[in-house]
C-alpha cells in the first residue's frame, strides 16, 4: 500500500485555487510577493514627500508593530515570521482503504481558512495600531465619518477599499432608510461611495479567539498612492526549497502542509482512535510601507 502520509500531504498541499493564493481582503489592499529561500527582503523609501529618513511599519511575530527607518539609500531589512495552523487530524476511518477526497478536502479547507484569517487579522490589527491614522467620529453620522476618512488619506492616494465590520456594513446598507425621516436634502451613502471610488468589503469571522475586524470598526485603504509605487501594504511569503517541497510531496511552494509519517492515538471521547496529525506552516512578512494612505475609525 502507498504511504498514506505522502498521499495526504500531496492532496492537502495543493492550493484550493491556484489563482487565489492569498485571502481576497488581503489581495485587495496589499501587493503580494514571494521570496526565494534565504533571500533578504529590503524596503527602500521612495516617498516624494520626504527627502530624508521615513518610517515604515513591520508586523512582528506577535502581531505588533516594529518601526523601521528607511531612506532612499539605506534600506530596512525585514524579518520573516512563521505562521502555523493548529494541529488537526485525519482519521484512519476516513481514509482507509483508499483516501477519501471529501475528508481530505475538509481538512484542507479548515487549515486554509485558519491561516488566511490569521493573515488578514494580523494586518488589520497592525493598521488599528497606528494612532495617528485614527479618525474620530466627532458627533457626525456614518456618512460624515467615511467622508472624514477620505479627507484623511486623499492627499496620499485614491482607488479606495473600505474594510467594514458587520455592524458598519449593516449601517451602510440601511443608512438611507434609517435617515429618510431626517433628510432635509437627499444624501445617499452608496452614491457617495460610488462617486468616491470606494469598494466596500465586509470582514467577518474569528481566529484564535479574536475577531478579524471588530464589528464596529472600519479601515480605509488608498491603493493607488501619489507618494510611492504600488499599494501601501506589502505581503511576502517565502518559497520553500525544492527539497522541502519534494520531501512533503506537495504541490504548494509557499505554504507547507506537514503530515506525520505514522498515525497517532487520539483519545477523543475515551476512544483510542488512530489518525494522522496535520498542520500548515508558512513564513511571511507583512509591512505597511505607506501608513499615510490608511485611515481607521470606530463607528459608535
Total residues belonging to the chain: 300
Q: Band of the pLDDT at 18, cuts 50, 70, 90?
A: low
| pLDDT at residue number 185 | 59
Residue with cell 489581495: 27
DSSP state of 134: B
What pLDDT is attached to residue 241? 82
Whether 80 has a pLDDT exceeding 50, the answer reads: yes
Split at pLDDT 50, 70, 90, the class of 269 is low
Q: Does the structure show a pLDDT above 50 at 53?
A: no
Peptide bond preceding 97 in cis form (omega within 30 of 0): yes
What are 109-141's pLDDT values in tens digits?
Answer: 888 889 999 999 999 999 999 999 999 987 778
The 10s digit of each residue's pLDDT in 162-171 is 999 999 999 9
The angle subtended at Cα 27 by Cα 25 and Cα 31, nearest 5°, is 135
pLDDT of residue 98: 62
Q: Topology of domain 4-298, per CATH?
A: phage-related protein like fold (3.90.1690)
Residue 104 has pLDDT above 80, yes or no: no
- pLDDT band for 211, please (50, 70, 90 cuts): very high
What is the pLDDT averaged over residues 217-241?
87
DSSP 82: E
Give the global pTM.
0.83
Kindly list the domain boundaries of the chain, sorted by start residue: 4-298
Asked if the model's pLDDT at residue 62 lies above 70, the reply is yes
Helical ranges in 97-186 per DSSP H: 101-128, 142-153, 166-179
In this prediction, residues 16-21 reach a mean pLDDT of 60
Q: Which residues have C-beta within 8 Å of that of residue 164, sequence separation ≥ 6? A: 172, 200, 201, 202, 203, 213, 218
Amino acid at each position: 500500500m502507498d504511504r498514506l502520509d505522502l498521499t495526504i500531504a500531496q492532496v492537502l498541499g495543493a492550493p484550493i485555487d491556484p489563482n487565489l493564493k492569498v485571502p481576497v481582503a488581503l489581495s485587495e489592499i496589499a501587493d503580494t510577493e514571494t521570496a526565494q529561500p534565504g533571500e533578504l527582503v529590503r524596503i527602500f523609501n521612495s516617498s516624494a514627500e520626504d527627502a530624508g529618513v521615513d518610517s515604515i511599519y513591520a508586523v512582528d511575530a506577535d502581531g505588533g508593530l516594529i518601526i523601521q527607518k528607511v531612506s532612499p539609500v539605506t534600506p530596512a531589512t525585514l524579518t520573516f515570521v512563521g505562521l502555523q495552523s493548529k494541529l488537526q487530524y485525519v482519521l484512519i476511518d476516513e481514509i482507509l482503504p483508499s483516501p477519501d477526497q471529501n475528508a481530505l478536502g475538509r481538512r484542507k479547507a479548515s487549515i486554509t481558512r485558519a491561516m488566511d484569517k490569521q493573515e488578514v487579522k494580523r494586518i488589520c490589527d497592525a493598521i488599528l495600531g497606528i494612532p495617528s491614522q485614527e479618525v474620530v467620529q466627532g458627533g457626525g453620522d456614518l456618512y460624515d465619518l467615511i467622508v472624514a476618512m477620505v479627507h484623511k488619506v486623499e492627499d496620499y492616494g485614491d482607488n479606495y477599499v473600505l474594510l467594514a465590520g458587520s455592524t458598519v456594513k449593516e449601517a451602510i446598507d440601511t443608512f438611507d432608510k434609517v435617515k429618510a425621516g431626517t433628510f432635509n436634502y437627499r444624501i445617499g451613502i452608496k452614491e457617495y461611495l460610488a462617486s468616491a471610488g470606494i469598494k466596500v468589503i465586509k470582514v467577518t469571522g474569528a481566529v484564535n479567539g479574536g475577531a478579524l475586524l471588530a464589528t464596529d470598526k472600519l479601515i480605509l485603504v488608498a491603493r493607488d498612492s501619489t507618494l510611492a509605487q504600488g499599494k501601501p501594504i506589502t505581503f511576502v511569503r517565502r518559497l520553500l526549497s525544492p527539497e522541502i517541497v519534494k520531501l512533503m510531496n506537495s504541490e504548494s511552494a509557499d505554504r507547507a502542509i506537514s503530515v506525520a509519517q505514522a498515525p497517532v492515538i487520539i483519545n477523543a471521547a475515551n476512544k483510542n482512535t488512530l489518525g494522522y496529525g496535520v498542520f500548515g506552516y508558512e513564513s511571511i512578512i507583512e509591512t505597511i510601507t505607506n501608513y499615510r494612505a490608511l485611515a481607521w475609525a470606530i463607528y459608535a
